Structures are given as C-alpha cells and as structure tokens.
Chains A and B, each alone.
Chain A
Amino acid sequence: MFDGLTDRFGEIFDKLKKRGALSEADVSAAMREIRVALLEADVALPVVKDFIDGVKIRAVGEEVLRSVTPGQQVVKIVNDYLVEMLGPETEEFEIRAAPPAAVMMVGLQGSGKTTTSAKLAKRIQEKQAKKVLMASLDVRRPAAQQQLAVLGEQAKVDTLPIIPLQTPRMIADRAMDAAKREGYDVVVLDTAGRLHVDDDLMVEVSEIRDSARPAEVLLVADAMTGQDAVNVAQSFNEKLELTGIVLTRVDGDARGGAALSMKSVTGTPIRLLGTGEKLEALEAFHPDRIASRILGMGDVVSLVEKANELVEQDEAERLMKKIGSGHFDLDDFASQLRQLRKMGGLTGVMGMLPGVKKAQAQMAAANVDDKMVIRQEAIIGSMTVGERKKPDLIKASRKRRIAAGSGTTVQDVNRLLKQYQEMTRMMKKMKKMGNKGLMRSGMPGMISPGIPPGHGMR
C-alpha cells in the first residue's frame, strides 16, 4: 500500500528540473514527503520532527552528484542520516558478566517475549558455549510457563522446573539460586507481558530486577507497533534502565518505524531482530536494512553509488544532447545497452529499486531479460554503420542478413526496431514536455513496450 519514497521524489524533482546544489526549496518539498513517508511507516511524530530538522540542515547546499537526480541525492542523505540515527551495527550478542548472569526479557503482552527468550537462550548456548537456564516468571497468562518449557525442549535449553502458585519474585530467586548451585552461566528470565501504564505490575518487575540484578534488560517490542512505541519504550526505560531492544516480527510487512522511535527516545541500542517463527530466526541488527525498509525503498543508496561509479558521464551527456536534438539512432541505443550492462544488467538494476514489482511483472510478460539485452547488442552489432544511422533503410533482406549475422531471428530484429521506434516516439514526446530530467541517468527505458523510458532511474 505504500509507494516507494523514490517514486514520490521522482515526481517532485521532475517538476524542478534543475541541477547543481540542492536549494532550500528543493529540500523543503522533499521533507514534506519524507514526513509523510516516516509517519506512514509508524515513526512517532516527535521523532519525525527531530529527524527532519536534522536532515534539512545537512541537505541544503549539498552538491547533486552529476549522475543522479536531486531526488535520489536527497534520498541518500535521508537514508544515511536514518542509518546513523538507528545506531551502530550491533556486535554479536555476548554475555560477559560473571556467572550466573541474568538476562531479563520485558515488554507488552503479545510482543513475543517467550519465543524470543527461547531463541536468545539457544543462541547464547550455541554461539558462546555457555550453560543457559530459562525460567518463566509469567504466572498470569494461562500456560505461559508451560510454553517456555516446551520451547526449552525444542531448543535443547534447560528450563527451571515449574512450581505452581509461586510469585514471579520467588521464581526469579529460585532460578538464580539454581543457577549458582548447578553452575549455569546465563539465566534468561521471561517475564509476564505488562502494560507500561500498569503501575502495580511495573513495580513488580522493578523489584525482580533489583533482586536478580540482570546483566541485560531487554525490551521485546513488535515491529508493527504504532505511535505508542515512544510511550512504551520510554516508560520501560525509565523504570528498568533497558540495555537493549529486541524488535520482533521483522519478517512481517510492517515498515518498522517503531525501531527509530524507540531508539530515539531511549538512546538504547536495538540489539536483535526476530525474523521468523523458527528458533533460529534471531538476527543481529543491521541499521541500513531497517532504514531502507522504513523509507519504503529498495537499495536505492547502493544504486546511486553504483551509478556514480559506472555511468560514463560524458556518454550520458552526449546522449542527452542527441535526444534533445531529436536524432537518436541505433548507435545511441547500443550505447545505452552497454551502460545498462555495466550496472549489473537489467536484473541487477531492477533488484535495487523499490516499487518495481509491477515493472518486473511486465518485463517477465514481455520476455525481457538480461539475455535479451545481450542479443540486442548483437543485433545492432550486425548492422552496417549506415543502417545504424538510418534504421529506415532496414527492409526484409537486410533483416535476414542481420538476423543471420547476430544468430537471431527476423522476429528478434523486428522487435528491436519496434522498440527503437517506440523509444524515439517517447523521446519526441518528452522533448515536447521539456522533461530533460528523465534522461539524466543515461539509462532511459529500453524496456518498452509498457514501461515508459526512465522509469527505472527516477
């Protein structure tokens, strides 16, 4: 349901049609879109405001890279800033405190604490070769303790035997005693889900914290959380001094703005991501991935960087002029194909772009793939210089010769010529609209029919 941010910027900057440094007006227009994108991704409003103030300062006056559009440039600045705000790449989750070290899992009901407890215990036990004990302090939700016991069996992690009618505090004490006695290195304490506004339960959990003195207090939070994420994270942090956040259900399709909200208001790092229902599905946090996801874009940043490195600027400029003059011949077409291949081919480029599912489907339907690009280059390569300059010359017998020369069929040659005609028609149309910005990338659409030129790079 969300449009990629880059698509939106495409629209804004197509209107602006200018190059050089980003002006304040450019940036302000972009920031309005960023605001909406962040809010739709569930980043909390106060955090959105701070973020935009920060990014604005950075973006105004920045030179636009020659090979990219201002829109992409802004996206890169926004993305870089977002990655910074999300905090550093986390190191492997390691417990270095003296044994028995407690890890306390806290959070709202249904955020995924119990599953995460088992995943984390398994990870510590396997990756750090430590002896781990799990204990469920959840005496509220029916069968919660049993749930952890079952998960313990699946994960091959020991769980504290269940004794009915004990209070959470008693269970925590018993777990720590058992750990000391039986030589466990780490104790994972899975607490009951609680609302941060429930004072009694928040007092209860602080008391457990005071008695177990955990090395880690992790807030387990759902990636789908909305604006309330700031309140939740802030309250838990104030009362328990969190050492980290675990974001769960990252395998869903939520944009995960809660990650930025919670990191910003607590300053607490995001340590781990829950990425599936399997017990192995717990991953280290990569700020860049979450950033792209929040902005609703694919890997635009690496595309911008790649474009910068690889697209021969002069070549692109030459093409622009040609298009401007209305003389776009098959040599120019071939040059475009070469540029495209340098950037990793159609699949490579498309894979880096957001919101191209539709285009990809159209491509698949039209049998457009990377092999086709190579074949098309071969077809053009089998033409004479004259034919390339004046494609109208190419009639039936020439087509047969070209097909034979390039190892293709007359149909393939026809298809290429048709595509070329389509492109020249489009270019004339665009010239009329004065939309130079479209061609800036030096990679206008070779993917007709159905996909307008320049779609990919806007």
Chain B
Amino acid sequence: MTEETEGSGWFARMRVGLSQTSFRLSEGIAGIFSNRKLDEDALQELEDLLITSDLGVKTAAKLSASISETRFGKDVSPNEILAALADEVAAILGPVAKPLAVDPKHRPHIILVMGVNGSGKTTTIGKLAKRFKEDGNSVMLAAGDTFRAAAIEQLKIWGERTGCSVVASEQGADAASLAFDAIERARSDNVDVLLIDTAGRLQNREDLMQQLRKVMRVISKQDETAPHDTLLVLDATTGQNAHSQVETFQKMCDVTGLVVTKLDGSARGGVLVSLAERYVLPVHGIGVGEGEDDLRPFEAIAFARSLVGLSK
C-alpha cells in the first residue's frame, strides 16, 4: 500500500468524505453515553445511529446487542463504545478486504465489470486501468457499454488518460461480440489485463440480466477460466437495495468481488457491513473521487474506524 507513505493517505482522504457523517455519529454516541450507564434507552439510540449509516435493521440490532452483552449496566465512555463498535465492524469486514490481484498465468487476465446504472463502472475501470499500468501491466479496455449514449467515448477518454488501448464498436452493437473481439485483440497484442465494461442495468430486468449472461458465456467460450474476476460496482449512497443487487448479480453472473464507489460523499456505505455478513464477497477497492488515483484498497480496520468516527 503506497498510501501509507503519503502525507494524506487514503484514510485521511476517506475521512474528509466521511467527516460530516461520522462526526455526527460520534457526536451522537458521545451524547448518548457521556456520564451514564449503558441502559435500554442508550442501546436503542446506539442501534438507531447504526441504522442511519445504512447498516440495516438486523445488523444494527446485532451489533448493539453484542456491545450490550459485555457492557450492559456498566459505566462506559463514548470512546470505549466507539472502539468496541469499530472492532466488531472490523471483525466482520476483515475477511472480505482483499485487493484485486492480476494473475500472470492468465494472458490476458479478464475482468468483467457490471452494476446498476450510474454506479460508477466506467470511472472505476479508468481507475483500475491506471493502477494496473502503474504496477507494470499492459492493459486493454473494452467498451462493452454499447447502450448508453457516449459511454464508448467516455471509456475512450479514459483510455487516452491512462495510455491503454480501447476496443470499441458503435453504439447499439452487440456487447457479447464486442467482448469476443476484445479477447482476440488482447491475445494478439499479448496484453496482461483486459477490462471489459458493460452497460448499467437494474437487477430486476430479467432480459438485460440474460444479455449479461450471454456476454459471460461468450467470454467463457474464449477462455474457460474467464472471466477471472467479475466485479460488481456498488454506489455507497445506495441503501438496502444493495442486498438485492448483490443477490441477483451474484446468482445470475457469479460475481467474485465488489468495488464500492462514491465514498467521498456523506454516505457511509454501512450496507457493506451487512453485505459482508451475508455474502462474504471480497471488497476489492473503494472509490473516493472522480480522479484517476481515487481508487483505494479496502482496509477493514480503517474503514470501520472511519465509519464510527474514530481517528486512526
């Protein structure tokens, strides 16, 4: 992690975004617990505060119950509660924090990127391309969003910015055959990583999900081990519908990992905690801005501490 050496590491960066809300969260907790015993009311308030960061009713209840188990009726300081909460959250998130690694055995290592409309797929691809290039890989992009107006141009600009070649056809073309062509091109150019974009789709659109499955089938026909990574891009602003997104995309398209975007806003992405509990899908990175360097590895402890409003 190069971030650790930077003056304003990714933690600081994320904290800028989270500051407003986590400030509120820790303020709230301080308000609940200063000079008082941990009683039923205090626990309810704690649970409420977790709910406001999108943890969901069940996970919030579970976390506050486990805080209560060891501390109920005792005098507690806000900091102690925050630290305990952060530990609980980090324990849930720890197992899913896994960076995305390029496997040199695969040539190319094929990564398919999917998600609902506006979640940040194309931007995430641009950022991933930058990162893989920096790690010394040759990278090719495939403009598989053949539906949305100017999506192809958007990816081409990312190709220029990051110095990656882009395989594209025109708007309205078949996304599956584009993927097929892209793999052939990637092979003949001998690139290390091929990132394939797809059109945004709502998970309840059966027809569009079937189209995505077709893209997957075409990729697997070219290389039966591919796609080597199937990334679902989630918007941190999303509430409980993230569960439905993960469930459906995973069922239909064998999602292998998540990228969570827009964590530089005031949304805390708390839904990640309940997602981690339920699906145990790796979280490969978080998006903290629109720039090409704004994709960071996901670190459980730092994320958990930020979520509850503790400084590092």
Contact = CB atoms under 8 A, between A and B. Distances in A.
Contact of B262 (A109, A151, A227): A109
B116 A144 contact: no
B232 interface: no
A143 interface: yes
Contact of B148 (A1, A41, A147, A197): A147
A44 B290 contact: no
B91 interface: no
Contacts of A255: 240-241
A269 interface: no
A41 B54 CA distance: 11
Contacts of B54: 42, 226-228
Given A39-B57, A110-B117, A253-B204, A228 B150 contact: no
Contacts of B242: 224, 226
Given A197-B265, A249-B117, A257 B204 contact: no
A108 interface: yes
Interface string B44-64: 000010011110110000000
Interface string A212-228: 00000000001011111
B240 to A, nearest CB: 6
B171 interface: yes
A231 B271 contact: no
A154 B262 contact: no
A237 interface: no
Interface in B264-299: 264-268, 270-271, 290
Interface in A225-245: 225-229, 231-232
Contacts of A141: 123, 154, 290
B116 A249 contact: yes
B138 interface: no
A42 B239 contact: yes
**Residue of A1, A45, A150, A226 with highest tally of chain B CB at under 10 A:** A226
Nearest to A43: B239
B265 A142 contact: no
Contacts of B202: 249, 251-253
A257 B154 contact: no
Nearest to A154: B149
A196 interface: yes
B51 A226 contact: no
Interface residues of A, number: 46
A97 to B, nearest CB: 29
B157 interface: yes
Contacts of A224: 116, 235, 237-239, 241-242
Interface in A91-136: 108-112
Interface in A346-390: none
**Residue of B119, B151, B239, B270 with highest tally of chain A CB at under 10 A:** B239
A195 B149 contact: no
Contacts of A142: 153-154, 157-158, 161
User: How many residues of B sit at the interface, in one of the four size bands?
Assistant: 35 or more
B20 A231 contact: yes
Contacts of B161: 142
Contact of A226 (B117, B118, B237): B237
Given A109-B118, A150-B171, A252-B202, A227 B244 contact: no
A253 B237 CA distance: 16
Given A143-B157, A147-B148, A228-B54, A1 B243 contact: yes
Contacts of A257: 239
Interface in A143-168: 143-144, 146-151, 154
Contacts of A232: 237, 265-266
Given A140-B290, A142-B157, A252-B203, A40 B149 contact: no
Contact of A225 (B53, B150, B238): B238
A150 B242 CA distance: 30
A36 interface: yes
B144 interface: no
Contact of A112 (B118, B156, B244, B290): B118
Nearest to A41: B240
B21 interface: yes
A140 B241 CA distance: 28
A258 interface: yes
The 8 closest A-B pairs by CB, nearest first: A226-B239, A110-B118, A42-B239, A142-B157, A150-B149, A147-B150, A143-B153, A254-B241
Given A148-B149, A251-B202, A258-B239, 9 more contacts: A36-B57, A109-B118, A112-B118, A141-B123, A226-B242, A227-B270, A249-B116, A253-B204, A277-B147
Interface of A: 1, 36, 39-42, 44-45, 108-112, 140-144, 146-151, 154, 195-197, 222, 224-229, 231-232, 249, 251-255, 257-258, 277
Interface of B: 17, 20-21, 48, 51-54, 56-57, 116-120, 123, 147-151, 153-154, 156-158, 161, 171, 202-205, 235, 237-244, 247, 262, 264-268, 270-271, 290
9 contacts: A143-B151, A144-B150, A149-B150, A196-B266, A197-B264, A224-B235, A249-B116, A254-B241, A255-B241
